[in-house]
Chains A and B, each alone.
Chain A
């Protein structure tokens, strides 16, 4: 019997993975926003979120100086002894060495974007070379982008093979696979892409929502799709993959909703920065601001926290 055609395999894959009802899943996640997290449970959640932050700077105008202050903030977000450092700093490949100088040897990891972030539109060999280079410079984690063009053209095997090649190029570094939800558009596609990635990932790797460079980033809806995919994959294979929503999470309140989603979908084993991260920059200060409010009882001004953008 001839092997099934690419089209047939494509259809079978989509069938196996299953569909997602958009209205239904959005109703489900709306319930997370009605959870009322107060007092000790709020402080616990906020501290967990601080420790889960991948503090990020990914701008054309990044300089060593900028990376220095990012790393300083990452190690000591507010100078308080009972606050954890963040999980990682996330920078462009050109800044990996500088970041490693600042946080090497501490619990804060260096994550580097690679694979022609954010578009991914270069030859595979260029993308892999970039990965190897960042790892050689000291990156502990790599955030890659999948080939959306290939995905939307139905070339699922190619998408998966490329991810597998990046896994290999990472060596000891952990890999986070950015699906870029705004390009995939539908929840069905996000679910399918999640499985495509997880099938070639190792325990300790992550799937990630977005580059943060488009208008649509992490939402409770796409977070939920990916959490459910992770759960189904785990229950089927025993392999635990992590999750990272990135972009669009600016307030502590939102971060707590995302954590409720983790708690109610994946349970206690995923409430750790080994399996869940927030890709964010301004979120950190809002977490700190809310923690300070809980500690003192008074609402805080934003400018009292280092590296805050607001001066008014």
Chain B
């Protein structure tokens, strides 16, 4: 049998024997120095004449000037959308679909350019914008294009008709992808749109206006207004909006719901999360570790459905944590434009401060912090991948959304306890289950209060797979046949 070990505990050496040279992506993002609003198919200056800078969070340097849309601009956008709706809504579905197919193909043509722009503006690694964000955005348009002429099949007994003009506000964590998630179904159903990108990441949306032009999309069908929270409030509150869709923090989602409480405005909300990633003792452990890493370090943890709580069965906790640490040592933090970077920059100074604050709180409350050795870049907003062990449900770091590369580790003994702990949260967006036993997967899937359950995988998305949360993670679904219904008029 296996020889028994003598001497000091064996350790693996993850050192500098074979360092990688810098491998920067060199494709040109074709940025403008100053962008304009896109209203009624034209590029227009904001009425106020005000612009603000968008900076590169990896270098803290200015990238471009972004227009600040005021109330008058938002009005103009809704007017343009309303005017365009008359023709767009009665275009045969087959024709509407063709515009969306064109958009998908044009985005695929310019994929690399958009990936670099996304990385510069938001801080995520080029590997991710190139391999995930941009292709997935194109796929969303391609998928929804095909629904435009099949709406009579989507809901038995109903003919789906558009709502009218919809107002949409999207976050900074997947700027172009969130734009695709919002625009594609809305347009497929025949709606027109006023969309506000996030303040810190407006560039790819404004570049996207060029794609809409090249596709020949009729003017006014999509209108892009940029700005900060104020602009978002005007977009959400505008009387001409038949429906609003918001993706962002739970806190702001609640504020919008309060703002609209006196109206009949339809809304969908895709808010925050504090997902449990549950590892049982019979799980394939190395793949579970990979799933844990994907779950919390993908996109620096700026993911609403991030697996930010690891719930690991006590019997394998020590092994899993040891493997996790070894795996984390291999994560490269640095220049987002370097093709070998795994963790890029934190999106903004504000977010970095939030992460630091919550991690410090975690340590004060008694959690044990571990980070792999390594230097962070001197410039820019960076945070290392972080493990907090010895966490319980009562710790703040187990309850509050950190939205950063920080994993809180808790343990459990039985299946029932895992379910209890996983559900012990106001959120309910997603969950992960790692086990070799099929019936257990199905039981967990049945009992976890989460809109998306990933079994033996994590952070998998598809345009055909409905996504959305329970409880304070929001309501409504995006993707699939189910997601269409949120953009159609009732009866």
Q: Which residues of A contact B (CB under 8 A)?
A: 15, 18-21, 23-25, 27-28, 34-42, 44-45, 48, 199, 228, 231, 233-240, 259, 263-264, 266-269, 271
Are A234's CB and B19's CB within 8 A? no
- Is the beta-carbon distance between A231 and B12 smaller than 8 angstroms? yes
Q: Fill in one digit per residue for B13-32: 1 if any A CB lies within 8 Å of its CB, else 0.
A: 11111111111000000000
Task: For residue B230, give the distance in angstroms from its CB to the closest CB of chain A.
Answer: 40
Q: Is the CB of B127 within 8 A of A34?
A: yes
From B20, B282, B322, contact of A35 by CB (8 A)? B20
Complex Cα distance, B340 from A217, in Å, reads 28
CB within 8 Å for A24 and B456 given contacts A199-B1, A235-B10, A269-B12: yes
Q: What is the CA–CA distance of A48 and B436 in the complex, to the nearest angstrom?
A: 38
Residue B482 is within 8 A (CB to CB) of chain A in the complex: no
Residues of the B chain whose Cβ atoms lie less than 8 Å from the Cβ of A271: 17-18
Q: Which 3 pairs of residues, A with B, have the shortest CB-CB distance?
A: A24-B287, A36-B23, A268-B17
- Chain A at the B interface: SS class: helix
A23 surroundings in chain B (CB, below 8 A): 456-457
B12 near A235 with CB under 8 A, answer yes
What residue of chain A has the Cβ atom nearest to residue B434's Cβ?
A21
Contact with A along B237-256 (1 / 0, CB 8 A): 00000000000000000000
Q: How far is the CB of A45 from chain B (nearest CB, A)?
A: 7
Nearest chain-B residue to A233 (Cβ)?
B2
Question: Interface size bucket, B side?
Answer: 35 or more
Contact check: which of B19, B23, B290 meets A28 at CB < 8 Å?
A: B290
Q: Are A25 and B286 in contact (CB under 8 A)?
A: yes
How many residue pairs bridge A and B at CB < 8 Å? 104
CA distance A267 to B13 in the complex (A): 5
Is B90 an interface residue when CB atoms closer than 8 A count as contact? Answer: no
Known contacts A41-B18, A42-B21, A268-B17: A239-B290 contact under CB 8 Å: no
> Known: A35-B340, A38-B23. Contact between A20 and B17, CB under 8 A?
no
Q: Judging by beta carbons under 8 Å apart, are B456 and A41 in contact?
A: no
Q: Given A237-B2, A267-B12: A36 and B17 within 8 A (CB)?
A: no
Most chain-A Cβ atoms within 10 A of its Cβ — which of B9, B16, B131, B284? B284
A41 and B3: CB pair below 8 A? no
Residue of A with least CB distance to B15? A268
The residue that B19 contacts in the complex, of A25, A36, A41, A239, with Cβ under 8 A, is A41
Q: How far is the CA of A263 from the CA of B12 in the complex (A)?
A: 10
Q: Does residue B7 face the partner (Cβ distance < 8 Å to A)? A: yes
Q: Please give, as numbers and ranges, the residues of chain B lying within 8 Å of A20 by CB-CB distance.
A: 284, 286-287
In the complex, chain B residues whose CB is within 8 Å of the CB of A24 = 284, 286-288, 290-291, 456-457
Can you list 8 residue pairs at the A/B interface with Cβ under 8 Å? A20-B286, A24-B291, A24-B456, A25-B286, A264-B330, A268-B15, A268-B16, A269-B12
Q: Which residues of B contact A42 (CB under 8 A)?
A: 21
Shortest distance between the CB of B295 and any CB in chain A (Å): 12
